[in-house]
Structure 1
């Protein structure tokens, strides 16, 4: 009920007036019931708030746990808002935490629900498209039911709210949906890291083909780490 009220009564109408969004490829949205992954590029923190506006079914996102650990009244309100909008907290520190994140995503898919994933693992630092992480492929192959993957291209979201901005500015954002992809031919091959990489690269290739982004075959997190290190060196 809270999700419906936010989307249709409170936040949703405001976001639609401010940002559009303009939709292309709506005919590619799945019409059947079942597990679907919306695999999107990631340009801005507002991506996760705009995509649900144009979907009829509820979509869940895996969000970094820091969003849910704030203190005081502001922290409680933030946590309440994120949980109410379908955000699921995950620990992105790696190792066992990554396994827990995978399990959280699989729980959503095994219920036959819709899951939003950013295969790059983090927001693009410069609006280019970066190498995808193979967790998405593991979810596809380890799910208890067939999973459709819908490529999603967010357009100009970084212009509305770039990294570091405290609030978005009005403007139009585009959302483009590609044709659903399926990978049942790889079922049972999840232990094979080459298969996981092949699936992930195929998804990223489809996103790249439908966006205007330059593709960079390195992880976005590596670029961000180098930028952070360079900044520290300059300030030392």
Structure 2
């Protein structure tokens, strides 16, 4: 009830007035049953806008710290995130990624809509970065379709580090649902997880028109912190391996799947 009231009275009017988002392909999002909406992540406003334009409730996974703050400020923050449909997840420790995946599967098991940003963190430069495989594991274990979603203009509106958004045109574009039920029982296969994730990211990329960087956003941020911005970052990242994602299917077993990065496993979310 709180979600519905908060969404109707506060969130929808405010964000529609601020951004006047254009919506494309809304009919591609299932109105009933479990589904994953997977989007590119450019701005703090992404999940808010995604929730505003949809006709049904959508849940997002959020770190538990958002719900455990003390005092009035902490209680208000917790109420705010619950009003957005956020679900607290303990992200501490080595099992944090698996905890997020398991919670996502539980949400989908209840027939709900789950929003996720596979890049794991916001892009610092407006480009798209490599997706983490948690989205693939959720899709395969739950059997839920994945609806690709492109957030267009949100980086220009509020890039990372900017407190107040600019009033610029924003578009939320949904693609055709992707069905991965043929991979049922293969959620432990890291090659399948990598390839399914790449297919999802490519579907988002085709909708967004972004440039693609074949590295994780968190690694790009680390290199940015170490080497600064501009050409120095590009040099340090080996020109960031900038390239479009090839049009492929999970059966192609891309190189990224055959040679997983050190520390990358099936539990990455």
Report if TM-score (shorter chain) is over 0.5: yes
User: Is residue 222 of structure 2 the alignment partner of residue 225 of structure 1?
Assistant: yes
Inter-partner Cα distance in structure 1 for 2:42 and 2:154? 6
Question: Which of the numbers 133, 146, 151 marks the counterpart of 2:148?
Answer: 151
1:201 is matched with: 198
Q: CA deviation at 1:164?
A: 1.1
- CA, structure 1 residues 197+50, in 2 after alignment: closer, same or farther (shift >3 Å)? same
Q: What stretches of structure 2 of length at least 5 have no aligned partner?
A: 229-269
Write the mapping of 1:25-174 to structure 2, written as runs, cut at 5 A.
25-31=25-31, 33-93=32-92, 95-143=94-142, 146-174=143-171
Name the stretch that deviates more: 149-158 or 82-91. 82-91
1:176 is matched with: 173
- CA, structure 1 residues 69+163, in 2 after alignment: closer, same or farther (shift >3 Å)? farther
**8 Å contact kept, 2:3–2:82:** no
Give the 3-state SS of the residue equivalent to 2:132 in structure 1.
coil
**8 Å contact kept, 2:26–2:54:** no
Number of matched residues?
228
Inter-partner Cα distance in structure 2 for 1:197 and 1:86? 28
**Cα-Cα RMSD:** 1.5
Give the 3-state SS of the residue equivalent to 2:209 in structure 1.
coil
Q: Deviations over 1:71-125 (max 9, x none)?
A: 3322221111101211112344562111111111111000010000101111111
Inter-partner Cα distance in structure 1 for 2:130 and 2:8? 35
User: Is residue 24 of structure 2 the alignment partner of residue 24 of structure 1?
Assistant: yes
Report which structure shows greater RCO (CA 8 Å, sep ≥6): 1
Give the 3-state SS of the residue equivalent to 2:7 in structure 1.
helix
1:6 is matched with: 6
- CA, structure 1 residues 207+67, in 2 after alignment: closer, same or farther (shift >3 Å)? same
Inter-partner Cα distance in structure 2 for 1:228 and 1:72? 33
Q: TM (normalized to structure 2)?
A: 0.81
Inter-partner Cα distance in structure 2 for 1:164 and 1:66? 20
Q: Point out 4+ residue stretches in structure 1 off by more than 6 angstroms.
A: none
Give the 3-state SS of the residue equivalent to 2:151 in structure 1.
strand
**8 Å contact kept, 1:44–1:157:** yes
Q: CA deviation at 1:155?
A: 0.5
Inter-partner Cα distance in structure 1 for 2:153 and 2:130? 20
Inter-partner Cα distance in structure 2 for 1:213 and 1:168? 21
**8 Å contact kept, 1:41–1:154:** yes
